[in-house]
Structure 1
Amino acid sequence: MSAEITTPGPGANVKVHRVMRGWLQDYLADRAGMSTSMLGKIERGERPLTQVMGAALANAFGMTLDELLGQAPVKVGDEDRLKALRSAMRRFDLPTGDPEMPERLEHDLSELFRLRGDANLSAVTHKLPGLLIRVQDNAHATGLPEDWAKVADVYSAVYWLAARHRWMTLAELAVVKQKQAAERASALALAVAARDEAGTFLNGGDFAGGLALVDQAVVRVESTMQGRTRHLGLGLLHLRGMTLAGRLQDKKTAERHIKAANEAAEAFYTDIDVQGMHFGPENTITHIVATQVDLKRNAEALEVAERYLRTTPTLPATRIGPLHMNVARAKLAVNDRDGAVDSLADAWDAAPQMAKVHPTSLELSRVLVSLHKRSNPKINALAKRAGIEL
């Protein structure tokens, strides 16, 4: 048994909330439908708090999953940028400028999506407020569907940034505005907005609600879209669907979304990037790996992931980082602790800013530090990067 330590990581929040309510472990475990032994291991850092268990515990506490996981702190210097971003969002229907030069706007949008792909959260935070004002002004001035699609794309980036930090009030406002812009844009923009709205259900732990939303959007895409764009819209939705089904432990529904995502991916020889939206065979693989780990098919997940990583992945850091996190989850589940440390270090190398705030990264770091001897140099390096005191 490892000593109990105070470290960053969502699992550490469980004991805080339990003690704050004056509950004993057996009472909370009973309310959450898990064993007292498992709860004790989560609180001591001997087992990671998964999203599945986190949702059950959050429900037992009467809170949402994102509230239990905790928000990432706002970096020094970003407070004013986030205030400016919220101000721009409030002024969605209050244009203040003239149309933009199309080439300049396209250049700046491409730069935003490149930064998002690199998982450069700081740079995205810096760029979003001004760019959001510009795309909104431009769309109001031209009234063109393609310009409203740009607005929806920027709001999708706002959702992504907020969800990564678990700033869910901001994320939920972003998807409302995204949908309003998408309704003036295109069927594809509406499909992406539905995917992101379902993401807020995922972040909040309402996996069933998110699945229902995905199913509604799939029906709409099937009846309104054609060609490769239809495959893209369906593919993005089915990726979200498999994740939600995996968190819900619904194997049959997960398999249905996996099959449908693979079928949609067959329309693309390689992964495509449309305004920061990646879809194709590779991105489908990364989502399948995550879902298999959620369904406790860890050996299968490792086989798929390791076969993919032996190729030359073309996906950006924002996808490769979480893939390594999920490989680390699977390795820890099969008791390959050293391998889990290596994979988690790979996640930090691929997307350091994302790893710094991602609940999976933080929780794996907490558990691996707790389980390993403090003299392990890899653990020491990992702890330092995660801000864990040994």
Structure 2
Amino acid sequence: MSAESTTPGPGANVKVLRVQRGWLQDHLAARSGMSKSMLGKIERGERPLTQGMGAALSNAFGITLDELLGQSPVAPGEEDRLKELRSVMRRFDLPTDEPVRAELLEQGLTELFRLRGDADLAGVTQRLPGLLRRVQDHAHATGLPEHWARVADVYSAVYWLAARHRWMTLAELAVVKQRQAAERADALTRAVAARDEAGTFLNGGDFAGGLAVVDHAVVEVESTLSGRARSLGLGLLHLRGMTLAGRLADRKTAQRHIVAALKAAEVVDTDVNVNGMHFGPENTATHVVATNADLNRHADALEAGERYLREGPTLPATRIGPLHMNVARSKLALGDRDGAVDSLADAWKATPQMAKVHPTFQELSRVLVSLHKRSNPKVSALAKRAGIAL
């Protein structure tokens, strides 16, 4: 739906959905608990739609948050790959008789995680079906927990790809299969699976439900893991917890998860790749920036985000791109429109494929183009990237 609009972005969908239902702004504002003034600004592109506002509005419409934000279209040539991927997922417990070379499998996994870190969505899409089939065959052949952990790792990549595009049917199927593989693996892999399961609640706008999943998984980690593995599992879960609490505007719960994540990061000491994801002091810092922005603590978010970027980040692009978007959110909220445009340009430079489909990039672009009434080459470039007609 938003792909057909001359002003794409999640906020543009709000008016489309409201008009489709024949509702006046007063009616939608009352159902969502939002002021009519704020609703009008969102629809006109004068204020960005936040995920928290989006959850309230999707509730009012009787749909999920991902439906309000809109799915990204499947790129030309990728439909066959996704059909193949779904077929492999359905055949989770039906291995083929094809031989698997362990050394080539490890090379494939390394390449997949590199592509994920680079936010190369097209590359991940191309490699997932064949790699998932081989890793499942290998796990069935050996029955070893470490090989089932690899299956769960690949399903985590499927979830990541689907969530980026808001293909939530695929994302939810992926976390079901990820959990099945994790149950045959180990406690740390189960913690990662719970993190991704909570992510589907995040994507759907059920932030309280996602927090319940996180809290349950934290209890399991505390009772089953020890040492560094315990800190890794808890850290990944608390990162998800702070994001969910931030979207819920629950400052107390968000702070609890922030403190716990920082404590775990101190134990881990340096950022490491955990089942295809990163945890440590740096990734914790980027999540704190995002959560502060969600909680409208924009001065804190901006100061921390810019300090981190000055210090020379070592995280992969998949984390740096969203960080630039969150810095842009806070700059815009604090009145620095030109700075927000520059930060979105940095986000595009870091992760062009992710930025193209990311709802925050789409929405901030829509608002910035709407607010700039004068000629500005940077805004023109931003509009072109976001597909907005000037």
TM over 0.5: yes
Compute the displacement of 1:80 (Å): 0.2
Deviation sequence 1:8-63 (CA, Å, 0-9, x none): 10100000000000000011001110110100000000000000000000000000
Name the counterpart of 1:39: 39
Name the counterpart of 1:68: 68
2-structure distance, mates of 1:97, 1:42: 55
Name the counterpart of 1:138: 138
Name the counterpart of 1:343: 343
- Asked if the contact 1:99/1:141 (under 8 Å) is kept, the reply is no
Name the counterpart of 1:244: 244
1-structure distance, mates of 2:374, 2:166: 30
Runs of 4+, deviation exceeding 6 Å: none
- Asked if the contact 2:6/2:387 (under 8 Å) is kept, the reply is no
- Tell me the amino acid that sits aligned with residue 251 of structure 1: R
- Asked if the contact 2:26/2:36 (under 8 Å) is kept, the reply is yes
- Asked if the contact 1:29/1:35 (under 8 Å) is kept, the reply is yes
> Equivalent residue of 2:267, what SS?
coil
Compute the displacement of 1:98 (Å): 4.7
Name the counterpart of 1:261: 261
Unaligned runs of 5+ in 1: none
2-structure distance, mates of 1:48, 1:6: 16
2-structure distance, mates of 1:303, 1:248: 23
Unaligned runs of 5+ in 2: none
Whether 2:86 is the aligned partner of 1:83: answer: no
Whether 2:274 is the aligned partner of 1:297: answer: no
2-structure distance, mates of 1:169, 1:102: 31
2-structure distance, mates of 1:189, 1:247: 26
Compute the displacement of 1:268 (Å): 2.3
- Tell me the amino acid that sits aligned with residue 144 of structure 1: L
2-structure distance, mates of 1:239, 1:99: 39
1-structure distance, mates of 2:345, 2:219: 41
Identity of aligned residues (%): 80
2-structure distance, mates of 1:274, 1:173: 22
Name the counterpart of 1:171: 171
How many residues are matched? 386
Compute the displacement of 1:375 (Å): 1.5
2-structure distance, mates of 1:266, 1:103: 34
- Asked if the contact 1:327/1:343 (under 8 Å) is kept, the reply is yes
Name the counterpart of 2:382: 382
- Asked if the contact 1:239/1:261 (under 8 Å) is kept, the reply is yes
Name the counterpart of 1:30: 30
2-structure distance, mates of 1:297, 1:211: 21
- Tell me the amino acid that sits aligned with residue 291 of structure 2: T
Compute the displacement of 1:106 (Å): 0.9
CA RMSD of aligned residues (A): 0.9
Residues 309-324 of structure 1: pairs in structure 2 closer than 5 A:
309-324=309-324
In 2 relative to 1, CA 374–99 (structure 1 residues): closer, same or farther, beyond 3 Å?
farther
Name the counterpart of 1:21: 21
Compute the displacement of 1:374 (Å): 5.1
Deviates more, 1:299-308 or 1:254-263: 299-308
Name the counterpart of 1:205: 205
Compute the displacement of 1:309 (Å): 0.8
Compute the displacement of 1:135 (Å): 0.4
- Asked if the contact 1:374/1:380 (under 8 Å) is kept, the reply is no
> Equivalent residue of 1:46, what SS?
coil
- Tell me the amino acid that sits aligned with residue 245 of structure 1: A
- Asked if the contact 1:97/1:138 (under 8 Å) is kept, the reply is no
- Asked if the contact 2:214/2:240 (under 8 Å) is kept, the reply is yes
Name the counterpart of 1:367: 367
Residues 188-199 of structure 1: pairs in structure 2 closer than 5 A:
188-199=188-199
Deviates more, 1:366-375 or 1:321-330: 366-375
Compute the displacement of 1:99 (Å): 5.2
Name the counterpart of 2:100: 100
> Equivalent residue of 2:268, what SS?
coil
- Asked if the contact 1:72/1:357 (under 8 Å) is kept, the reply is yes
Name the counterpart of 1:279: 279
Compute the displacement of 1:264 (Å): 0.3
- Asked if the contact 1:98/1:141 (under 8 Å) is kept, the reply is no
- Tell me the amino acid that sits aligned with residue 153 of structure 1: D
Deviates more, 1:273-282 or 1:180-189: 273-282
> Equivalent residue of 1:315, what SS?
coil
Compute the displacement of 1:306 (Å): 1.0
Compute the displacement of 1:373 (Å): 2.6
